[in-house]
């Protein structure tokens, strides 16, 4: 489908004839995989205990699928934990920080959240490297004798780290990557990541409330050799008797998971395998981001919050709108939602006023292309008001 470029106000004010077939552009929970249907989930698991033989087998199968899809080395463990990505990352912070100095990188709201946790909750004194929305701090200045915390892909700012080359191979501290909008969208360098967290609700289009915690061998060593000074709630405890609770990484979850959410994640992972695995998912995300780039380039009133293409997200793409304030964006997104042309595309509440369009693998490129004329239409309606 070729994007329609509006050339005058009259044509812009006419409603486009074609709508996105699936107008789901939310940055979380994100669009379900194409072909998703609740009746396709394995119903025999529902109503069964997660500790039953069947329940454990399905949880282990979900973990095995994630390992296979990510080509994760055997040295890294995968656990399904409570609290979505936030719960997974805070679990890592509460159990491992305090053993040495801490550096936190913040260029969007979730990175700032980790700063708040480190300073106000854990009472640490981290070195904080900040940048404005759409930009990154100077990664070359990071001191890897510290534990380092950062978001791989800033969901609320549209900015991401360019790659893993800036992460020291011979680091003394641990690398903590909040990778919730990056896992399954980028080929991550697992040998340089000690702790990674994400949730199914992003690139896989799964449900919220569950997080995934990935631990490398250096993180396991920290857990088994260091006990933090603060108390740990039950849902954060990863060790027992000074040893890693291995069951957590074999499907024996800390608390009761939603087996419906687990089956939903399994559906998404099996769909991912059917479209080419990790590289198939990356290819779909790349195609969506390229289609949106084309739309932005053709419209002088649209721009990217992350101007530098080398650090621009390919999943949560944040756009600037000429002259827009928060009220304008609210009306803009509301018009498109009312028409059923696009849902949930207003930027994050703490970000500069703008649009945020999810381009992850579960979105179809044809729907991104069909969105362009509708952006023109909403712009024309509000600009003429």
pTM: 0.95
3 in a domain, yes or no? Answer: no
In terms of domains, do 143 and 292 share one?
no
**CA 323 to centroid of chain Cα atoms:** 28
Q: CA-CA distance, 69 to 139, in Å (whole number)? A: 29
Residue that terminates a domain, selected from 272, 303, 326:
272
d(CA 365, CA 273): 19
Find out whether 371 and 329 touch, Cβ atoms under 8 Å. Answer: no
* 131-163 tens-digit pLDDT: 999 999 999 999 999 999 999 999 999 999 999
Predicted confidence (pLDDT) per residue in 165-212, tens digit: 999 999 999 999 999 999 999 999 999 999 999 999 999 999 999 999
Instruction: Give the Cα-Cα-Cα angle 6, 7, 13 (nearest 5 degrees).
Output: 55
- List pLDDT tens digits, range 292-307: 999 999 999 999 999 9
**Alpha helix stretches (DSSP H) within the chain:** 9-13, 53-70, 84-96, 109-116, 217-225, 259-274, 277-297, 326-339, 365-383
52 and 94, same structural domain? yes
Pair 220, 246: CB distance under 8 Å: no
**CA-CA distance, 81 to 63, in Å (whole number)?**
12
Q: How far is CA 315 from CA 117, 292, 342, in A?
A: 26, 11, 16
> Do 219 and 322 fall into the same domain?
no
Instruction: Say if CB 244 and CB 237 are below 8 A apart.
Output: no
CA distance 138 to 132: 12
pLDDT tens sequence across 252-295: 999 999 999 999 999 999 999 999 999 999 999 999 999 999 99
Token output for 231:
């108390």
If asked whether residues 225 and 284 sit together in one domain, one would say no
How many structural domains compose the chain?
Answer: 2
Q: How many Å apart are CA 151 and CA 160, to the nearest integer?
A: 8
Mean pLDDT throughout 120-131? 98
In a domain, 287, yes or no: yes
Chain-centroid distance, C-alpha 56: 26
Domain assignment of residue 2, yes or no: no
Residues 87 and 204 in one domain: yes
**What is the pLDDT at residue 222?**
98
pLDDT at residue 385, as a whole number: 72
CATH number at residue 294: 3.90.1150.10
Q: Are residues 104 and 154 in the same domain?
A: yes
Residues 119 and 187 in one domain: yes
Residue 315 in contact with residue 286, Cβ under 8 Å? Answer: no
pLDDT band at 13 (very low <50, low <70, confident <90, very high): confident
Q: Are 79 and 219 in contact (CB under 8 A)?
A: no
Range of the domain at 55: 38-272
Domain-terminating residue out of 252, 272, 292:
272
Q: Which of 8-12, 107-111, 285-289 has the lowest average pLDDT? A: 8-12
H-helix or E-strand spanning residue 198? strand 195-199
Q: What are the angstrom distances between the C-alpha of 189 and each of 82, 165, 179, 195, 204?
A: 25, 9, 12, 12, 19
Q: How does residue 384 score in pLDDT terms, banded at 50, 70 and 90?
A: confident
CATH number for the domain harbouring residue 223: 3.40.640.10
Give the model confidence (pLDDT) of 50-91 as tens digits: 999 999 999 999 999 999 999 999 999 999 999 999 999 999
């Amino acid at each position: 489908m070729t994007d329609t470029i509006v050339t005058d106000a009259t044509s812009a004010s006419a409603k486009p004839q074609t709508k996105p077939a699936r107008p789901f552009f939310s940055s979380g929970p994100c669009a379900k995989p194409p072909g998703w249907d609740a009746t396709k989930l394995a119903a025999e698991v529902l109503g069964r205990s997660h500790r039953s033989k069947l329940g454990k087998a399905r949880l282990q199968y979900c973990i095995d699928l994630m390992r296979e899809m990510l080509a994760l080395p055997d040295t890294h463990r995968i656990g399904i934990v409570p609290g979505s990505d936030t719960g997974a990352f805070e679990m890592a912070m509460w159990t491992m920080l305090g053993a040495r100095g801490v550096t936190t990188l913040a260029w969007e709201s979730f990175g700032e959240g980790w700063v708040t946790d480190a300073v106000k909750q854990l009472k640490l004194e981290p070195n904080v490297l900040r940048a404005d929305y759409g930009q990154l701090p100077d990664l070359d200045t990071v001191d890897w004798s510290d534990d380092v915390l950062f978001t791989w892909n800033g969901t609320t700012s549209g900015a991401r780290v360019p790659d893993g080359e800036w992460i020291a191979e011979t680091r003394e501290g641990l690398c903590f990557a909040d990778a919730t909008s990056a896992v399954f969208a980028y080929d991550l360098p697992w040998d340089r990541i000690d702790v990674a967290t994400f949730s199914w609700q992003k690139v896989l289009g799964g449900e919220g409330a569950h997080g995934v915690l990935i631990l490398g061998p250096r993180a396991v060593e920290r857990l088994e050799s260091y006990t933090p000074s603060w108390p740990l709630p039950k849902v954060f405890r990863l060790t027992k008797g000074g040893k890693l609770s291995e069951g957590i990484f074999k499907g024996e979850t800390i608390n009761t998971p939603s087996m419906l959410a687990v089956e939903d994640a399994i559906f998404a992972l099996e769909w991912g395998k059917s479209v080419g695995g990790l590289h198939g998912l990356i290819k779909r995300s790349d195609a969506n981001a390229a289609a949106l780039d084309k739309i932005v380039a053709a419209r002088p009133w649209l721009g990217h919050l992350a101007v530098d293409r080398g650090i621009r997200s390919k999943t949560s793409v944040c756009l600037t709108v000429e002259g827009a304030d928060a009220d304008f964006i609210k009306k803009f997104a509301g018009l498109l939602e009312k028409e059923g042309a696009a849902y949930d595309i207003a930027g994050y509440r703490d970000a500069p006023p703008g649009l945020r369009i999810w381009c992850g693998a579960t979105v179809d490129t044809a729907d991104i292309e069909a969105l362009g004329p509708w952006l023109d239409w909403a712009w024309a309606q509000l600009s003429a008001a």
